[in-house]
């Protein structure tokens, strides 16, 4: 059985901005649809995408992107105590942004692969499977 796949904000922004590596996200979307196994994303990391679009392009564009993301084969995972505890444990031991720790925690708890291009995730390559875009 294929491992679950987690996206961090970097991966989704890469796709939305069509930066190098976005083709891999298209492939992930296609496979997710074919297999009926949506990709996973922590709502905290979704929030990172939202605030970055809002800050750079304004409220209307952020709302458009929110609507667009709802059409993607992505299941947003709400934050609960278990996920927050795991993210806090990672933050306490790794030099990473707290929001990124939620993506790592989700990947760890779901035994999933994490898709990113953010070099900060090099800190957890020994802990989880990081797939570089």
Query: What is the signed CA dihedral for 68, 87, 36, 24, rounded to 10 degrees?
Result: 70
Q: How many angstroms separate the CA atoms of 95 and 101, rounded?
A: 10
Query: Which residues, 6 or more positions from 40, have their beta carbon under 8 angstroms from its beta carbon?
Result: 4, 5, 6, 7, 74, 75, 77, 106, 110, 112
Which pLDDT score, from 0 to 100, does residue 1 have? 61
CATH class, 5-132 region: alpha beta
Do strands 113-116 and 5-7 pair parallel, antiparallel, or not at all (unpaired)? parallel
pTM of the model: 0.95
Tokens, residue 64:
């458009």
- From first to last of its 133 residues, the chain has per-residue pLDDT tens of 678 999 999 999 999 999 999 999 999 999 999 999 999 999 999 999 999 999 999 999 999 999 999 999 999 999 999 999 999 999 999 999 999 999 999 999 999 999 999 999 999 999 999 999 9
Residue extents of the structural domains in the chain = 5-132
């Amino acid at each position: 059985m294929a491992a679950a796949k987690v996206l961090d904000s970097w991966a989704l922004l890469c796709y939305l901005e069509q930066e190098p590596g976005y083709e891999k996200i298209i492939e992930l979307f296609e496979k997710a649809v074919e297999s009926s196994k949506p990709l996973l994303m922590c709502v905290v990391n979704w929030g990172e995408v939202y605030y970055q679009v809002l800050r750079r392009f304004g409220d209307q564009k952020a709302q458009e992107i929110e609507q667009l993301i709802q059409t993607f084969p992505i299941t947003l995972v709400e934050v609960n105590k278990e996920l927050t505890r795991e993210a806090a444990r990672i933050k306490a031991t790794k030099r990473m942004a707290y929001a990124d720790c939620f993506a790592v925690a989700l990947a760890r708890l779901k035994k999933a692969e994490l898709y990113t291009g953010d070099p900060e995730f090099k800190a957890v390559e020994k802990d989880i499977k990081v797939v570089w875009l």
